[in-house]
Chain A
Amino acid sequence: MALEPIPSAPILSTREDAQAPKKKKIKTTKVVNGVDTEVEIEVDDVPTVAWPERSKLRVLNHDIPRVDGPDKVSGAARYTHDVRLPGMVYAQILVSPLPRAKVVKLDVEAARKVKGVVHVLVIQGESTGWLGDPVAAVAAETLEAAQDGLRALAPKFEALPWSVDHETATKSGAPAVTKNGNLGKPETDGDETKARAALQASPTRVKATYQVPIQHHACLETHGVVVDYRGGTEATVYCSTQYTHGFAAEAAEVLGLPASSVTGINEHMGGGFGSKFGMDKQGQVACQIAKELKRPVHLMLGRREEFLMSGNRSGGIQTIEAGCEADGKFTGFLVQAFKHGGLGRGSLAALPYCYSAAEHYRSVQSVRMHLDANRAMRAPGSPQASFPMESIVDELAYAAGIDLVAIRKRNLPRDASWQRQLDRAAREIGWADHPHKTKPGPALGTECIGIGFGVSAWGGGGADECEVEVRIERDGSVVTACGSQDLGTGTRTYMAAITAEEFGLPVAAVAARLGNSRLGNSVASGGSVTTASLAPAVKDAAAKARVAFATHLAAVLGLPGDGFRFEPEGILHDGAKAPTAMSWKKACGTLPAEGLRANGRWVESLASRGVNCTQAARVAVDPGTGRVLVLHMVCVQEVGLPLNRLALRSQIQGGMIQALGYAISEGRVIDPVLGIQLNPNFEDYKVPHALEIPRMTAIIDDEDTRQGVIGVGEPPVIPGAGAIANAVHNACGARVRELPITPDKVLQALGKVV
């Protein structure tokens, strides 16, 4: 086993200590509220460390079972919800049951009199501006007493006019969310005249309107925090968050403490998907109550409040007109889009998304409503763009009589990895033997089989924000530490695995510590930036620790420092005449009492960015009932250098499942007259369960040979809904242009509803 070159960089130095190296400018990712944006930064122009060749990796690029798996399945893993502290009180929040209302009555005295209630906080006693707007909070000795306290407030609301649907919000004189009304200024791109002319000249043209609902993040662990403040100068916040350091800093501000005095702890969390970057109103309220009572406060949102006030993926309506040549080449492309992001602006990737047309014009407007603002959600704006885009690609293909794979390849860059990915996905899904390539199958029998495709892209690059420490103790124990968080994606596992790889150790021999703001700084986990930001810093720290250890052993053993190899059988030295392995434990025993520590920072050359992804879906549609049964989903995705192939496939599968829910069953339902959400629970908001999960083939595109790590969580959630919608149409001719594709809509599209 050859050893990778040992860098000659100064041992145990942080970058600040090193001599000023040459600098260069690179493009990288900066995440703002989960949306990754490209920025230019300056970094050292000295490659200090590199990933070994893939074939030489012993731990990485293999399937590594997650190190916290046993804790999670046994219940040993402690989530924020599980935290119980001496003297702790439970707080609950009353939210506005109407989109806009005057608060007429709030019986604070009655709430205070409820047995066990210790504090009543009026958040806003005058009026509310959106459905789910927090009104008051009650803290009590038990959760039940807090809930009883909220009811004792016996709130009375007087409805004010609201806009919670597109039709109402866009009417003239509609109840307005902003001073300038509900309809945002159109953001346009392209030349409308040229696009229209190109369309006019096209032999094939189609026009259609597509609609997507508001999707919920549906985190199994609701938003919340346990604030441990008992007076004094220190506090700890247990937070279910995608940004442990940021959360602690926000809490410090509300508690009136220096940021350095507040520790954020987030050992495990039950999902974020972009909705958990900040502490939000409930976090502020918990800190306010803790500050007031000088007692620990447990405030986790209830499920209904979670649905109403913790953000969402914006919905929208898009009308698209598109044309193509006889060979399928897109000519003109016109889009008019409206985004439904509640109080927010909504999010929508630019169409024609991954494809290009000779001429395009788009106009995108926000439609504001009295609902909670949209937030980042796994690939913000992209599934909303992909579903209509992939649908119109198929509609054009059928109109022009072109194979569904061929038209995609024709309109994606010739040198893009989508070309090979489409071939692979087509092969895996069985496209060659499928009978309906240029027109949909007939709606006959009970099981019409259809196939659909979709493509996506994401950045997933890293940034220099993580500080990692690798520690080796005299007893042989090893720790990789960074304050980052593991959203369930496997961060903890690769933190251990990268260090294990470096020292020839099993993964279990390395402990990974994270989820604590006292540890090194970390990037906020959104936009698929965590791995590309953190893994290079772990590698940097581990490599520095290895060099330092070799230098130490050289001095102890009187051997040259550059000949050491750290292998599973022990530590070897190439220069020794008769090499015998020294055991890891024995070698560590030679360390001084304080052991060995090395710090790592981001190394640009260890990360890459830019991922393409292609999916295919095979469905069975029952034209008698409208049932869509997704039989098989295939995803072929670039990942850069694979760290943990098992975790990568899991991420891809999770993305496909979330896309499946978006496609066939999920969506917020609001009654526009009553102004209430009709499905704020997991009975009526239908996420896929076990029987909905199809066969899933998650393929790591190993033709992507970049030796840099990339985040991969977003791409697989994007193309699935479009692929499924297309497969439904391909199966039986039911073109459903509004998600989710439920049986009623399929029957309607088949003309069976009279």
Chain B
Amino acid sequence: MKSFRLVNPTTLDEAIDFASDRAAGSSKFLAGGQDLLTEMKEHLSGPDRVVNLKSIPGLDALDSSGGSLRIGALTTLSRIERDAAVRAHWTALAEAAHSVASPQIRTCGTIGGNLCQRPRCWYYRLEEANCLKKGGTECFSYGGLNKYNAILGGGPTYIVHPSDLAPALVALGAEIVLRSKSGERRMPLEKFYVLPADGDVTKETVLADGEIVTEIVVPKPAAGTRSTYVKFKERESYDFALSAVGASVVLEGGKVAAARLCLGAVAPVPWRVERAEKVLVGRVLDETAAREAANEALRGAEPLSQNAYKVPLTKTLVERALLALAR
């Protein structure tokens, strides 16, 4: 790990000032450290200054008293998975938080860090493979060993976004709040992520240098809302998803009044499938509807040489998530 200077701001403005001070060299925000430290150990990231956010009070609020759910960026995953209100009203989020890695990691890892984490593609994670994502000229997964890579939205890089919380939050209609020197901005979470073809391939989000995630806001669910997050791992104990789905439906009189579906681990961003959502609206949530939605969700999938299995796998997960919500 490259040597760095650790700074401990006590206010958000101070943290942003530190990170915006280019003269002092490059900076990284440190939250739970579960991703950043591994990146630094592997020399994928070598900031001159690490700006510790844990020294700032008040960034870990978890509040649902106003109807909507407000989660400070520094709230740990273990707190989210255990919170009674989250479990009752935003079930997909609680399930997603619970599905992450191991209890140790969930105890340290934060929601902000989870949403901002870098890809797990093994080419990206190995320093010796100078891939496109790291500023090289080639995405090695395209012609290489791509079993874990994208089947949707890929090119020119084929990473999958590894966050579990993101697909669940997109399904729940969450918004993300960012702050920088130029002020605050708020956007639907799906707008926070950028496809490699639409922006800088070395980044996954719209987050600018010196900009920080401060809060996640999840709207109050409409009456009759049910949600779930279904994650499939190669190794149940501790693993990233091979595929996942966040699903939320509003049921009225036995029929789907509204639906939101978002796939995880199959695309470079959390992959919302609005066409599949439309298939469901106005219908009884039965096996036929679930299967049609699953087929629609995977329409347009373009598997690489070794990941075509993700298509039937993801269809199964979509069907099962929806049928679980029907019960």
Contacts and interface: CB of A to CB of B under 8 A. Distances in A.
Interface of A: 97, 144, 147-148, 151, 624-627, 629, 665, 669, 671, 673-674, 676, 678-680, 683-684, 686, 688-692, 742-744, 747-748, 752-754
Contacts of B147: 744
8 contacts: A144-B1, A148-B3, A671-B140, A671-B145, A674-B140, A691-B237, A744-B309, A753-B311
A689 B237 contact: yes
Nearest to A669: B145
B6 interface: no
Contacts of A684: 122
Given A673-B144, A689-B237, A691-B237, 19 more contacts: A97-B128, A144-B1, A147-B1, A624-B312, A626-B309, A669-B122, A669-B145, A671-B123, A674-B144, A676-B126, A683-B120, A688-B235, A691-B236, A742-B234, A743-B232, A743-B309, A744-B307, A747-B309, A754-B312
A665 B122 CA distance: 16
A625 B144 contact: no
B200 to A, nearest CB: 24
Contacts of A748: 309
B291 to A, nearest CB: 12
A315 to B, nearest CB: 16
B311 to A, nearest CB: 7
Given A624-B316, A669-B145, A692-B236, A679 B122 contact: yes
B171 interface: no
A663 to B, nearest CB: 13
B325 to A, nearest CB: 17
A689 B232 contact: no
B44 interface: no
Interface in B120-143: 120, 122-123, 126, 128-129, 140, 143
Contact of B238 (A689, A742, A753): A689
B274 interface: no
Given A626-B313, A744-B147, A674 B239 contact: no
Contacts of A665: 234-235
Nearest to B123: A678
A contacts with B: majority SS: loop
A403 to B, nearest CB: 32
Nearest to B314: A625
A625 B311 contact: no
B230 to A, nearest CB: 10
B308 A754 contact: yes
Contacts of A148: 3
A748 B147 CA distance: 13
Contacts of B309: 626, 743-744, 747-748, 752-753
Contacts of B236: 629, 691-692
Contacts of A692: 235-237
A148 B235 CA distance: 34
Interface in B144-196: 144-145, 147
Contact of A627 (B123, B232, B238): B232
Given A625-B313, A684-B122, A753 B308 contact: yes
Contact of A743 (B120, B129, B242): B242
A81 B242 CA distance: 35
A753 B234 CA distance: 17
Contacts of B123: 671, 678
Contacts of B140: 671, 673-674
B317 interface: yes
B320 interface: yes
Most A-side CB within 10 Å, residue of B120, B143, B147, B316: B316
A473 B236 CA distance: 53
Interface in B251-309: 306-309
Nearest to A747: B309
A447 to B, nearest CB: 13
Contacts of A676: 126, 128-129
Given A686-B239, A748-B309, A753-B312, A743 B234 contact: yes
A303 to B, nearest CB: 11
B141 to A, nearest CB: 10
A744 B128 CA distance: 27
A684 B121 CA distance: 10
Most B CB atoms within 10 A — which of A148, A665, A676?
A676
A66 to B, nearest CB: 25
Nearest to B316: A624
B122 A625 contact: no
A686 B233 CA distance: 12
Contacts of B242: 743
A754 B311 CA distance: 9
Nearest to B237: A689
Contacts of A747: 309, 312-313
B254 to A, nearest CB: 25
Nearest to B313: A625
A690 B237 contact: yes
B296 to A, nearest CB: 17
Contact of A744 (B43, B306, B317, B319): B306
Nearest to A740: B234
A673 B140 CA distance: 9
A743 B313 contact: yes
A692 B239 CA distance: 12
Contacts of B311: 753-754
A678 B234 CA distance: 16
B290 to A, nearest CB: 12
List the 9 closest A-B pairs by CB distance, nearest first: A689-B237, A624-B316, A744-B309, A691-B237, A678-B122, A752-B312, A691-B236, A747-B309, A97-B128
Nearest to B128: A97
Nearest to B232: A625
Given A691-B236, A742-B234, A671 B308 contact: no
A625 B317 contact: yes
A695 to B, nearest CB: 15
A671 B235 contact: no
A674 B129 contact: yes
Contacts of A151: 43
Interface centre among A147, A684, A688 (most CB of B within 10 A): A684
A408 B320 CA distance: 40
B126 A678 contact: yes
A671 B144 contact: yes
A689 B144 CA distance: 28
A665 B306 CA distance: 17
B98 to A, nearest CB: 13
B235 A689 contact: yes
A624 B122 contact: no
A624 B320 contact: yes
B316 A625 contact: yes
B244 to A, nearest CB: 12
Nearest to A629: B236
B162 to A, nearest CB: 11
A673 B126 CA distance: 15
B265 to A, nearest CB: 13
Nearest to B320: A624
Given A97-B128, A754-B308, A686 B313 contact: no
A437 to B, nearest CB: 29
A76 to B, nearest CB: 22
A487 to B, nearest CB: 25
A686 B234 contact: yes
Nearest to A752: B312
Contacts of B143: 673
Contacts of A626: 309, 313
A343 B69 CA distance: 59
A348 B194 CA distance: 50
Contacts of A97: 128
Contacts of A689: 235, 237-238
B320 A678 contact: no
Contacts of B120: 683
A446 to B, nearest CB: 8
A690 B129 CA distance: 32
B100 to A, nearest CB: 13
A197 B1 CA distance: 64
